[in-house]
Structure 1
Amino acid sequence: MNVLIAGAGRLGTRVAQVLAASGNGVTLVDVDEARVDAQRGQFEARLVVGDGSEAAVQERAGAAHADLVVAATGRDEDNLVISLLAKRRFAVPRVVARVNENENSWLFEQSWGVDSAVPAAAPIVSLIEEATGAADTVALLRLSSAGLGIIETAITAGSKAVGQPLGAVELPEGTLVATIVRNGDPTAPTPQTVPRPGDELLLVSHSAGEEEIHEAFQ
């Protein structure tokens, strides 16, 4: 599958990493050259500097041959224009857009070229699901050589893991917390790290599923 992702922020790069690692041809576009440069060598993808809401940039990025476009910028107006161009100008079969402001959600429909809209409050895994059309959102990425899967869970105010260190959370056998994303910044946690509402955790596991991870943290 050929994928064009507009927006090299945390969301766009995470989606690009997962889809590239799954063997898809990924092109990542961002108007910020520094953001684009920061991704060089991080994963297998074609990197393009430019405004994805411009037809010339989408054409240069290969929109005419894309099976999927993901509009993942931090501006709803840009995501709408990106979606409309991809669908109407380049006839992209599937267009997924992130909705940053809830009051704009009514605009994210097929009249603007959007096949699937994902609210900003939804975890990143939801955008992966919408982008790929996959029914199974548990394993974002299968590392076949090691038999590992990456699972994401979001911490809310009602999560039982809030207020206790990660070392006290009873995880399924063969499972560890690889990354904690807090306020947009990913860090490697320690057993003393205490989850907070709004945190997103990425776990690596040999065999655990969504229900087991949910039971551990929620």
Structure 2
Amino acid sequence: MYIVIVGAGDIGTPLIEIATAGGNEVVVIERDAAKAEQASREFDCLVINDDATSKETLADAGIDRADALVSTTDQDATNIMVCLLAQELDVPEVVSVVHNPEHMGLFRQIGVNTMQNPQRLIAEYLYRAVKRPSIVDFMRIGEQAEVFEITVKQGAPIAGKTLQEANDAGLLDAEVLIVAIEREASDEPITPRGNTRIEPDDLLTVYSATGATPEVTDVFGHTEDHN
């Protein structure tokens, strides 16, 4: 892919690293001279030290053949201007960071894919790691729903039961779905069925419409969420 990345700051720099390591052709636009110089030293890509809100700068970046543009600056106003220009220039995929939640609607109105306030997401992840150590990994979906990974403890209410038996016993709410099971004895993830038995030490991928609440995690043998 040919990717134009706007911004070589805290968010843009890891993205540049991932994109270049993935074998993509990457062009970076960074207005700050020091950051632009550092990016050009660290990564195998073209770095343009200029203002990305200018069509001329985007043209210099080869925007006419770009498969995607990602705007990562710390200013929502700059990001939205860059995205509008990218859309005007028919870039197929336009993605942006959004720092102020109040601006999400504006980005959606113009049809831009967004990532909301990455710093807050990182902070939430760290807080979750301390508050709910049973949750291995998680992803928020909408306002409440979450997909998370959790290990089944020995003696957990669901341990030793099939999914059908767990449903019959009322252990799994109608809004909770076990999506996948990773088991040490199995080389591949297990796609759960009604007759699939949940065993201690299974790593489950779970969808919960109400999130990873204590009522949900208790079923898998974790009670630390009540603390």
Pick closer, same or farther for the CA change 1:64–1:77 going to 2, 3 Å.
same
Could you say what secondary structure the match of 2:11 adopts? Answer: helix
Higher CA-based Rg = 2
Deviations 1:118-150 (A, max 9, x none): 1014788xxxxxxxxxxxxxxxxxxxxxxxxxx
Same amino acid, percent of matched pairs:
27
Equivalent residues of 2:40, 2:46 under 8 A apart? no
1:180 — aligned with what? none
Residues in 1 aligned to 2:120 and 2:16: alpha-carbon distance in whole angstroms: 15
Amino acid at match of 2:128: G
User: Structure 1: which 5+ residue stretches go unaligned?
Assistant: 125-151, 163-208, 213-217
Could you say what secondary structure the match of 2:4 adopts? Answer: strand
Q: What is the TM-score of this pair, normalised by structure 2?
A: 0.54
Q: What is the TM-score of this pair, normalised by structure 1?
A: 0.56
Could you say what secondary structure the match of 2:8 adopts? Answer: coil
Pick closer, same or farther for the CA change 1:161–1:43 going to 2, 3 Å.
farther
- Residue pairs, 1:52-201, within 5 angstroms: 52-88=52-88, 90-111=89-110, 114=112, 116-121=113-118, 155-160=125-130
Residues in 1 aligned to 2:71 and 2:21: alpha-carbon distance in whole angstroms: 19
Which stretches of structure 1, 4 residues or more, deviate above 3 A after TM superposition? 121-124, 152-155
Residues in 2 aligned to 1:25 and 1:153: alpha-carbon distance in whole angstroms: 31
Equivalent residues of 2:4, 2:69 under 8 A apart? yes
Root-mean-square deviation (Å)? 3.0
Aligned residues: 138
Pick closer, same or farther for the CA change 1:17–1:92 going to 2, 3 Å.
same
Pick closer, same or farther for the CA change 1:110–1:93 going to 2, 3 Å.
farther
